[in-house]
Chains A and B, each alone.
Chain A
Amino acid sequence: MPMKSLAAFSKGTSIKSDPGANPVTTFRVVVDKEVTDHIRSWRLILLLALLALTFFGALYVSLSNIKSVVSNAQDPDSTFLYLKLLTSTDGTMPPFHVFLNFLGPLLGIALGFDAINSEQNNGTLIRLMAQPVYRDNLILAKFVSALILVGTLFFTLVLLMIGAGLCITGVLIEPVEVLRIFTFTILAVVYVGFWLSLSILFSIAFKQTATSALAAIGVWLFFTVFYQIVVNLVMAAFIPRHTIQTEADLVGYNEVMLNILRLAPSQLFSDATTTLLMPSVRSLGPMTMEQMAGAIPSPLPFTESLMVVWPQVSGLLAATFLCFAYSYYLFMRREIRS
């Protein structure tokens, strides 16, 4: 392939490069490219299939079970048909929001574990960094593009669910239900965002994509499987069973236990979703009989539920920002070589 004459370039070089490239447009360019990359990738298709499968499975189970659930007069939440669709089950399969507790991390990790190190290994990172692009814009763009996809995905699924519910049952949806379901969706996106930022952090910290994936999955497994066991063991060692004499002791013990468990993001997520999707839940800790006395088992208004889960939401957001801040710290002053 012989090289051609310079005519083409000369024509081009008569105008100099536009010096006014501002960071916002470059940010958008990177986001556009990342979203396109994700959409074209097999990875997203697989994740999409997995998520769709669980969603429709959960929906099927709850739909076949919905009649008995709604006609149960004992349950104060029985009037919230659409919330029931998301939470009820016949025991063969966990409801969707519990599933999401497992799948959310997987989604976040899968979309972020090779964000930076794969670019570094392919030699594209140094090329990218030689362009007038701010480094923080690059990580932020990686984060935002994955989150845009997750958000779109979740909102689509939820809207599909509402649509299916409308078609099959013919019951009109209450505004409160819409509010609760959407808040739940936003919460799910935030939850995935946490795992995404964690996996991007690992993708900066570790040079090999396999290592960063393993590290992220390790953290996820630790929190879902081992954390509870470890906390139980340690608590039992520090506060032996026989020292608990009174009811107050027991309540205190459980409170401490639950607070430690809340260091796990999955616990925060499950607390928050349970409260949002089951309006009758009014406290996330143990309650004594005195506290319960006089309370009418009725659903809380939306704002009250939101108040109950507020600490959880801020906890998740704080954890996300922490990961992000550390990613910035690691990436900003790092030497990039091919």
Chain B
Amino acid sequence: MENPVIDLKGLTKCYGSLKAVDDLNLKVEKGEIFGLLGPNGAGKTTTILMMLGLTEPTSGKALVCGIDATTNPILVKRKVGYMPDSVGFYENMTALENLVYTGKLNGIPGNEAHRRSLDLLDLVGLGDSANKRTSVFSRGMKQRLGLAEVLIKRPEVIILDEPTLGIDPAGVKEFLDLIRQLSREQGLTVLLSSHHLHQVQMVCDRVGIFAAGKMQMEGNIHKLSQALFAEDSYSVSITVREPLPASWEYSDELRDIRDVRGLRISENLVQIACASDVTPDIVRFFVAKGLDVMGVHKREFGLDEIYQKYFDNNLIENNAHEKSRSIFKRYIHKK
């Protein structure tokens, strides 16, 4: 990474005694799609705001396209398109007027802004609603309009904060495909934050897992899953016709198969964790024992597991669970 487009150096932001972002270092290359993944309140939005100079870091530097975002936010904002997590538009203006306004604010002359706006509205699938007021827009439509607005200034970098929020599943796929296409064809650098694992998995080249203000891990999905689950990175689930007893007679024999690390039996589902892909051996084993195999499902560990590994053991969350349980108990007892 010779010339990273986004370069965060020791970025820290404190709100009083709370450290929202803690000594964050991150580099994103040109043309890359980077996913910032983390639970609510992890500091994702704060990080993004600092990249745009919308809030000042307590210490550290945020360089975007080589420009310091804190001291020179206007230059950064010319190159960066940003879509906030809850986009709002001027409700008494039409979609087209909203877009043209943004275009003009970026120094695009009126005619050109108008032409570009119409093109972009078509691109995001809002061509028919160009002259509707944004007050009648649904959340998903606003999100699409938000993307059009980000693109009107022809940015070098786009930063999307929870971009898929409120879009239906089919729309999400289109949206992410579009982002990927833009990045590939136009060389756009994309940074998107989300807590939707699958979407991030679908579109991002690289992922950073962000929790409690710190970057816990960074890299592509494959690398992450290897690093985390070096031992058992495959999981095979076998469904049989008849439910199995909890103390199954063949379980020890199954465990002896090469690279099988563990298994869990629940009724007629057997889950087997293994270090290498030994699915054929396992199936053969079941067949040899005369069991009716109804289904076999193999999967590589995805972000879900990675995510869980990080956040399920989260102390704060545990406390929250504890608390809600005790409140629940009290409530039940009163009744």
Contacts and interface: CB of A to CB of B under 8 A. Distances in A.
Q: A and B bound? A: yes
Interface of A: 1-4, 6, 8-13, 15-22, 25-26, 29-30, 33, 37, 40-41, 122-124, 126-134, 333, 335-338
B291 interface: no
B326 interface: no
A3 B105 contact: no
Residue of B104, B175, B185, B186 most packed against chain A (CB within 10 A): B104
Contact of B153 (A17, A124, A333, A336): A17
Given A9-B120, A10-B186, A17-B155, A131 B102 contact: yes
Interface string B73-100: 0110110111011111111100000000
Given A2-B174, A18-B107, A130-B77, A13 B186 contact: yes
20 contacts: A3-B144, A13-B154, A17-B107, A21-B106, A37-B90, A122-B90, A130-B52, A130-B54, A130-B82, A132-B74, A132-B78, A132-B105, A132-B106, A133-B74, A335-B49, A335-B54, A335-B56, A336-B49, A337-B49, A338-B88
A302 B178 CA distance: 69
Given A9-B119, A18-B108, A333-B56, A124 B89 contact: yes
Contacts, number: 135
Contact of A6 (B91, B92, B125, B181): B181
B78 A19 contact: yes
B22 interface: no
Interface residues of B, number: 54
- For the complex of A and B, the 10 pairs showing the least CB-CB separation, nearest first, are A21-B107, A123-B88, A335-B55, A8-B119, A130-B82, A1-B125, A122-B88, A3-B125, A17-B154, A131-B105
Contact of A12 (B77, B120, B125, B185): B120
Contact of B78 (A21, A134, A338): A21
A30 B45 CA distance: 27
Contact of B107 (A12, A26, A338): A26
Nearest to A25: B107
Interface in B298-321: none
Contacts of B101: 29, 33
Interface centre among B49, B91, B127, B177 (most CB of A within 10 A): B49
Contact of B105 (A9, A30, A336): A30
Nearest to B173: A3
Contacts of A123: 84, 86-88
Nearest to A28: B104
A3 B86 CA distance: 21
Contacts of A18: 106-108
Interface in B99-118: 101-102, 104-108, 116
B192 interface: no
B56 A336 contact: no
A131 B106 contact: yes
A10 B54 CA distance: 30
Given A3-B174, A133-B105, A17 B78 contact: yes
Nearest to B45: A337
B42 interface: no
B151 interface: yes
A17 B106 contact: yes
Given A8-B119, A122-B91, A130 B84 contact: yes
A40 B97 CA distance: 14
